[in-house]
Amino acid sequence: MTKLQSQGREPFEAVDRAPEAQADGFATVRQAHESEIAEDYVELIAELIETRGEARPVEIAERLGVKPPTVTKNISRLKAAGLVRREPYRAIFLTDAGQDLAEICRRRHRVVVAFLLSLGIDKETAERDAEGIEHHVSGTTLEAFERRLNQK
Amino acid sequence: MTKLQSQGREPFEAVDRAPEAQADGFATVRQAHESEIAEDYVELIAELIETRGEARPVEIAERLGVKPPTVTKNISRLKAAGLVRREPYRAIFLTDAGQDLAEICRRRHRVVVAFLLSLGIDKETAERDAEGIEHHVSGTTLEAFERRLNQK
DNA sequence: TAGATAAGTTAGCCATGTCTAACTTTGTAC
DNA sequence: GTACAAAGTTAGACATGGCTAACTTATCTA
């Protein structure tokens, strides 16, 4: 666990943590990065299927701000991971696992955005920051956000 | 800008954003990833200098949970970026630019941790989540966190 | 139904960030 | 002052996630 907080020289003193705990934290962040792409893709695919009727690479590329070959490559990885189902040159569908993941991500995304908005942050910033923050919000923290949202 | 929120079928409806705004958001996240390592390193180096008197690769490796060669490689990049000063086989020092960045990062880190703690989240989780979240918190959001902290 | 255009893929490049194995340097303890 | 252990570096591999250029497939339209 963590040691006690130190003397309080500064307004918010750094919590002095055990090296392994700190290393674990960074490992968690690195792991989160690896799943971010999968999460962003399934989230976006679910969104596109809902709003557009289907998810096409060209649209995914546009929304993510990347080029089509990047999408092709990443979709293959998603397929290998069992998250999407698809034939070459056709639209992209989510497997059950993909849909479950999308559901979790979209819900988490909405909670984070709503929470930021509740702090008085403007929509554009809330969406922008949520995009990055959401992947690093643990279940515990997400619950805290929801608790705060409900008690308002 | 964003369109208006839609019908509200779900508890938190997804905000329907223009594709370019969304793409910008993802681009911002990708950019943030590129500076994360630099930020983590200078933050940690500043911390080690303060608490241990000097920053050594072996300790950085231990704290970040990576192997020494990884640290060597990343420190070279930091040196190339003008953030650290150092001779091979000797301790690592921050340049003025590195110190400025460290200061900003440490302050942001402390605010994020304090904010999470203020939501009733336990220390270990707060530290862990902050490690990932801090790199994606814009100035606007950081201010909102501080405002909230001060008004308690 | 033939061509043109748009969409999608493949191939191959690059940078990042991790690793292991092997080597060099530093510092210390006799 | 030498030898050994610890710290640090170098070399080289690998996966990820971008890109461009060139090719293939699908679609639409005249």
In this prediction, what percent of chain A has a pLDDT beyond 90? 85
Distance from residue B31's CA to nucleotide C4's C1', rounded to whole Å: 39
CA-to-CA distance for A43 and A106, rounded, in angstroms? 6
| pLDDT score at B110 | 96
Residue pLDDT, tens place only, B118-138: 999 999 999 999 999 999 999
* A118 touching B (Cβ < 8 Å): no
Question: What is the pLDDT, as a whole number, of residue A4?
Answer: 26
Q: Does residue B8 have a pLDDT over 80?
A: no
**Chain A neighbors of B47, CB-CB under 8 A:** 14
CA of B81 vs chain A CAs: smallest distance (Å):
22
Residues in B closer than 8 angstroms to A33, CB to CB, are 33
Contact call for residues B22 and A128 (beta carbons, < 8 A): no
By C-alpha distance, the chain A residue nearest B133 is: A133
CB contact under 8 Å between B131 and A24, yes or no, is: no
Q: Sign (positive/negative) of CA torsion A46, A50, A55, A60?
A: negative
Q: Identify the pLDDT of residue B14.
A: 53
Second-level CATH architecture of B19-150: Orthogonal Bundle (1.10)
Q: Straight-line distance from CA B82 to C1' C22, in Å?
A: 30
State which CATH number among 3.30.70.260, 1.10.10.10, 3.30.70.1520, 3.30.470.20 fits the domain covering A22-150. 1.10.10.10
- Per residue in B20-42, pLDDT (tens digit) is 899 999 999 999 998 999 999 99
**Partner residues linked to B85 by β-bridges:** B93
pLDDT tens profile A106-137: 999 999 999 999 999 999 999 999 999 999 99
Give the span between the Cα atoms of B87 and A147, in whole angstroms. Answer: 51
Each domain of chain B, given as residue ranges in start order, spans: 19-150
Q: Which A residues in the span 18-37 are in contact with B, Cβ-Cβ below 8 Å?
A: 19, 21-29, 32-33, 36
Interchain contact, A24 vs B128, CB within 8 Å? yes
Report d(CA B80, CA B78) in Å as an integer.
5
Q: Which among A23, A65, A141 has the least Cβ separation from residue B64?
A: A23
Q: Name every chain B residue with its beta carbon within 8 A of the beta carbon of A150.
A: none
Does strand C come within 7 Å of the CB of A69? yes
B89 to chain A, closest Cα gap in Å: 22
Mean predicted confidence (pLDDT) in B53-77: 97
The pLDDT tens digits of the residues spanning B91-100 come to 999 999 999 9
Looking at beta carbons, which residues of chain B come within 8 Å of A137? 129, 133
Q: Residue B152: exposed, middle, or buried by beta-carbon count in 10 A (0-12, 13-18, 19+)? A: exposed
Percent of chain A at pLDDT above 70? 89
User: pLDDT at residue A14 above 50?
Assistant: yes
pLDDT in tens, B109-120: 999 999 999 999
Q: How confident is the model at residue A96 (pLDDT cuts 50, 70, 90)?
A: very high
Q: Using 50, 70 and 90 to split pLDDT, how confident is the model at A34?
A: confident
Instruction: Give me chain A's average pLDDT, please.
Output: 90
Cα(B149)–Cα(B97) distance, rounded to whole angstroms? 29
Lowest mean pLDDT among A12-16, A27-31, B99-103: A12-16
